[in-house]
A and B are shown apart, each in its own frame.
Chain A
Amino acid sequence: MLVGSILSIGGLGKSFSGQPILQNFDLDVKASEFITLLGPSGCGKTTLLRIIAGFERPDTGTILLDGKDLLSLPAEKRKVNTVFQSYALFPHLTVFNNVAFGLKIKKIKGRELQTRVEQALGQVKMKEFAERYPHQLSGGQQQRVAMARAIVNRPKILLLDEPLSALDARLRREMQIELKKLQREIGISFIFVTHDQEEALSMSDRILVMQEGRIAQLGTPRQVYEEPENLYVARFIGDINFFPGEISKILDADQVEVTIFGRQIKAQTQRQFQPGDKVVLLLRPEDLRLYEVPPTDIKTFAGSIVERSYRGSTLDTLVRLDDGLLLTTCEFFDEDDPDFDYSVGQRVYITWVKGWEVVLPDEDC
């Protein structure tokens, strides 16, 4: 168990009718941390959450909460609360009584009950709805009540199972910001499950990308986005371009020469490669630079514009290289040239910002 970690998961394994869902899973969650489990449906993220909450038993492994064994406790004894995807508000109780439920179970009465429920409702801006019933609330309001019902118990960890997935896009953006703010205010560790990578990037302290019950990568949003450790993570988070190549020379400790479509390109990498290794160079659309006239001093890849789409703040283009590769690029509008645009079929020359490439071994061959 790491110093400062509040939840410590070790060697967790779970399978359903012979199908492994979680395999040898380790994770340490720090105090007051916002950690996101990100992955496609069926990658085991919800199962992990249900094991922590106490609704499923793992086949193997241990979980420590604050250094104490969690798995031997039934769900109702765990200092962990869940915000369910469907909110699971009690339909026969008012908002106030929904939020008061956990406190009443703990025999908290009178003024303290009143103050704590009101405080929790205030934190989610739902104070004036206390006497309503859940069906009289909108989806966003129900979501807030579900949050209040969980945080009022002051859990050590709050588990959130895709809590924003039922909301429309605008409300979702709003709630993302509010949720993050709330988490900072109350200082409880959040374990947030989502399949939405944008949500994960904007809210998390750390993101855990899951792939078939294993950790594909664990890191800050910046690490996961800018330095994906494998092609799965690179593909899952954001748009990305893959340049297939082969290592032709090792230049020094952090520089290699890669042959891409017959051209020798220098690339930065910390990884160890051997000449002859098949690799891919990963580049985000916004890392690519387009020239209408080929620059003389740098090597470029020539191609033509296939599609252009105006996105307000950016101009996105689809470029087909003469070598056959299809690239997506994304350029910000520039103050100096607000009218810049391309026409379909126009010749362009592509390069990228030196050092922004990520070199990974090509797993597909």
Chain B
Amino acid sequence: MKIADNTRFCIILLISGWFILFGVTPLLLLVITSFLTMDPANLVKFSFTLKAYSQLFIEPGYIIIFTRSVKLALTTTLLCLGLGYPFAWYTARMTPKWRTSALILLMIPFWTNSLVRTYAMRMVLGTHGILNKILLSAGLIHTPLKIMYTDYAVLAGLFYLMLPFMVLPLYATVEKLNFQLVEAARDLGAGAFSTFTKIIFPLTLPGIMAGCIMVFVPTMGLYYVASLLGGARQLLVGNLIQQQFLNAGNWPLGSATSIILIIFMAVMLIGYGLLLRRFSRGRE
């Protein structure tokens, strides 16, 4: 018993230590830094100021960047949902053999480094890229489309990277859905549309919300996709943070931006939790 107790103590210590060292401490450092004064020569100067936050809330440039990031993340989420839902639905309803193949096809790119895949997107979307070549040779267009370095390229890249995060939670809920409920709805006179809106949608809502959170939250911070595919004009919150730390040397502003982003996401997660609780009130 003694040994078991020691082992348990060691494991708890290890986990808490890990969490404090790599979770709590950096977050605390971030919070502290966000209230300090900028000093490019020595990283920061130890004097309290709210300048970073006031800058963020007053200067319209930052608000524009933030709004654009939210808009882009939202668009990516909706795009992933729109295409991911049918994908998840049909995959879950396939025979087991086909289902495995479909899931493997979805997962293979998932295991490849996302930076590498973003570079691959450049080859596809570029002026002499694969997409333009196909469209040109098919006669659908006569001059190459300019996709690279636009919002569309960023959107395409984000969609490509984030789709599995949408499909997997959706797949999990659709797969668990009792299909007899769909039959029961039809038996009671509901057509395809009513069956979806009244039965399938509410019953898969937890999966939809989980998928949306899993796509939306990371998308806000995926700065390299915007850097590689969007160029200088498609600045997002993630790029802003990266620039403040690495280029501008404004650590307090970078920290403050991170804190705002964290708070924004925390609010979303709490909202999700509340919604889920309200929704599951009537279920086991």
B-binding residues in A (CB < 8 A)? 53-55, 74-77, 80-82, 84, 86, 88-94, 101-102, 105-106, 133, 135, 149-150, 153
Contact = CB atoms under 8 A, between A and B. Distances in A.
B101 interface: no
A81 B187 contact: yes
Contact of B282 (A53, A92, A102): A92
- With most chain A CB atoms within 10 A of its CB, the pick from B183, B188, B194, B284 is B188
B185 interface: yes
B248 to A, nearest CB: 50
B187 A93 contact: no
B282 A91 contact: yes
Contacts of B284: 91, 135
A101 B185 contact: yes
A83 to B, nearest CB: 10
B180 A84 contact: yes
Contact of A105 (B180, B190, B279, B281): B190
Contacts of B282: 91-94, 133, 135
Given A82-B184, A91-B282, A153 B189 contact: yes
A56 to B, nearest CB: 11
B8 interface: no
Given A88-B181, A133-B283, A76 B198 contact: no
Given A101-B198, A133-B283, A135-B284, A90 B186 contact: no
Contacts of B279: 92
B139 interface: no
B283 A149 contact: no
25 contacts: A53-B183, A54-B187, A55-B183, A75-B187, A76-B191, A81-B188, A82-B183, A82-B184, A84-B180, A86-B178, A88-B181, A90-B185, A91-B282, A92-B282, A92-B283, A94-B282, A101-B185, A102-B189, A105-B188, A105-B189, A105-B194, A133-B281, A133-B283, A149-B188, A153-B188
B187 A82 contact: yes
Interface size class of B (residues with CB under 8 A): 20 to 34
A50 to B, nearest CB: 9
Interface in B188-206: 188-191, 194, 198-199, 202-203
A133 B203 CA distance: 14
Contacts of B203: 90-92
Given A92-B203, A92-B283, A76 B181 contact: no
A55 B186 CA distance: 9
B183 A135 contact: no
Contacts of B202: 92
B200 to A, nearest CB: 11
B184 A53 contact: no
Contacts of B189: 76-77, 102, 105-106, 153
Nearest to B188: A102
A265 B100 CA distance: 67
A101 B184 CA distance: 10
A90 B283 contact: no
Q: Which 7 A-B pairs have the closest CB atoms?
A: A102-B188, A88-B184, A133-B282, A88-B180, A105-B189, A75-B186, A135-B284
Given A75-B183, A76-B188, 4 more contacts: A88-B178, A93-B282, A106-B189, A135-B283
Nearest to A132: B282
Nearest to A146: B184
A237 B191 CA distance: 41
Contacts of B184: 82, 84, 88-90
B135 to A, nearest CB: 41
Contacts of A150: 188
Name the residue among A75, A77, A86 with the largest chain B CB count within 10 angstroms: A75
A74 B198 CA distance: 19
Contacts of A101: 185, 188, 190, 198
A94 B187 CA distance: 19
A44 B190 CA distance: 27
A76 B196 CA distance: 14
B199 A90 contact: yes
A67 B180 CA distance: 29
B254 to A, nearest CB: 44
Interface in B164-184: 178, 180-181, 183-184
Contacts of B198: 101
A150 B180 CA distance: 15
B96 to A, nearest CB: 16
Contact of B180 (A54, A80, A86): A86
A113 to B, nearest CB: 14
A82 B194 CA distance: 18
A94 B189 CA distance: 19
B243 to A, nearest CB: 46
Contacts of B187: 53-54, 75-76, 80-82
A88 B184 CA distance: 6
